[in-house]
């Protein structure tokens, strides 16, 4: 078995990590679980208590799990399983893993969501639909997009905008980020924060992460005025222009499935930028089957397939 990384080695690796792969990203979720390093593969998970029990489980950080060496993920999970009931995660679909790496590490690996991606090394503008290009031009007539040198200067606006998103869509649980979590996510190395301004008021914002040769739309939110003025079009176009000479790929994140209610608008919006996609996979593993079955019986099995079953409904 490969020995855990030494402290000096970890410090060197931490210095080159950014975005979802950086330890600071896992620490931004400290309210929802205890960040736990996977030292061989260089990734992080959140270790969580299972309410009302003595048991714990783990999940990859939302929305994507990233690591440096996928071939060592299985070794890390083998060690993790000594303490936990189960683990679940969605590996970054643009990471350099083989499907066999995931299949060796987990009990199941299932296609999850299609991520809309853009190859920024080519004429990416030509892939954008005519409708979206028109909306971009319309938005820029009344919207100014600014990339923030100090994103914390706009924390109050960011909290307000994201709170509007939470209220509008009834978001609960982990994704209803607190002010502290939103603030910490702004300061993760590799982050870029863009704001859309109309008449000196921030009406929208977009948080990007970069890791390796990929830029990721991490979070975005607009208020009612921003929605009416097309602030999202101006934000996303500016983000792509900014990343075009810095990264190969631009990941617009997952598209809601065709059977997901309420996702039609978001799916249409993202597919207007590109038709190229990459499949993400939902991966799960049970470490303690006896405890897993007990928890499922105690918590009550859900009629909908969910893993882990005893946490069904946590992201509703």
pLDDT confidence of residue 1:
30
Q: At the fourth CATH level, which superfamily is domain 116-279?
A: Gcn5-related N-acetyltransferase (GNAT) (3.40.630.30)
pLDDT confidence of residue 187:
97
For residues 249 and 117, is the Cβ–Cβ distance under 8 A?
Answer: yes
pLDDT confidence of residue 262:
55
pLDDT confidence of residue 192:
98
**10-residue stretch averages of pLDDT, the chain, 316 residues long:** 32 63 95 96 96 95 94 96 96 93 96 95 94 98 97 98 94 92 97 98 98 96 98 98 96 73 81 94 97 89 79 76
212: left (phi over 0), alpha (psi -120 to 50) or beta: left
Instruction: Give the span between the Cα atoms of 54 and 294, in whole angstroms.
Output: 12
Closest C-alpha to 240, from 250, 230, 255: 250
Q: Kindly report, as residue ranges, where domains of CATH 3.40.630.30 are found in the chain.
A: 116-279
pLDDT confidence of residue 14:
42
Instruction: Give the span between the Cα atoms of 168 and 68, in whole angstroms.
Output: 37
Phi first, then psi, for residue 64 (nearest 5°) are: -130, 145
Q: Name the one residue in this structure whose structure tokens are 């079953």.
A: 309
Q: Which residues, other chains included, contact 199 with Cβ-Cβ below 8 Å and sequence gap of 6+?
A: none
């Amino acid at each position: 078995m490969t020995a855990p990384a030494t402290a000096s080695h970890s410090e060197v690796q931490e210095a080159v990590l950014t975005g979802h792969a950086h330890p600071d990203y896992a620490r931004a979720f400290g309210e929802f679980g205890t960040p736990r390093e996977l030292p061989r593969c260089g990734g992080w998970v959140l270790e969580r208590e299972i309410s009302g029990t003595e048991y714990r489980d783990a999940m990859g950080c939302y929305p994507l799990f990233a690591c440096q060496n996928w071939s060592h993920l299985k070794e890390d999970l083998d060690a993790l399983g000594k303490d936990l009931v189960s683990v679940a995660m969605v590996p970054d679909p643009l990471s350099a893993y083989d499907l066999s790496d995931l299949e060796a590490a987990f009990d199941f690996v299932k296609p999850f969501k299609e991520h809309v991606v853009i190859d920024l090394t080519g004429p990416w503008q030509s892939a954008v639909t005519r409708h979206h290009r028109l909306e971009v031009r319309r938005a820029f007539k009344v919207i100014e997009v600014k990339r923030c040198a100090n994103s914390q200067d706009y924390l109050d606006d960011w909290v307000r905008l994201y709170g509007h998103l939470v209220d509008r869509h009834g978001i609960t649980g982990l994704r209803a980020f607190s002010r502290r979590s939103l603030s910490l996510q702004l300061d993760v190395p590799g982050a870029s924060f863009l704001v859309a301004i109309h008449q000196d008021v921030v009406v929208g914002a977009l948080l990007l992460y970069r890791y390796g040769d990929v830029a990721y739309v991490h979070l975005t939110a607009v208020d009612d005025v921003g929605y009416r003025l097309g602030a999202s079009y101006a934000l996303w176009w500016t983000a792509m222009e900014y990343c075009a000479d810095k990264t190969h790929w631009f990941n617009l994140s997952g598209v809601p499935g065709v059977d997901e209610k309420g996702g039609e608008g978001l799916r249409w919006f993202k597919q207007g930028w590109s038709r190229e996609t990459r499949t993400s996979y939902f991966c799960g593993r049970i470490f303690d089957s006896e405890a897993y079955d007990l928890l499922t019986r105690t918590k009550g099995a859900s009629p909908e397939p969910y893993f882990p079953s005893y946490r069904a409904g946590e992201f509703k």
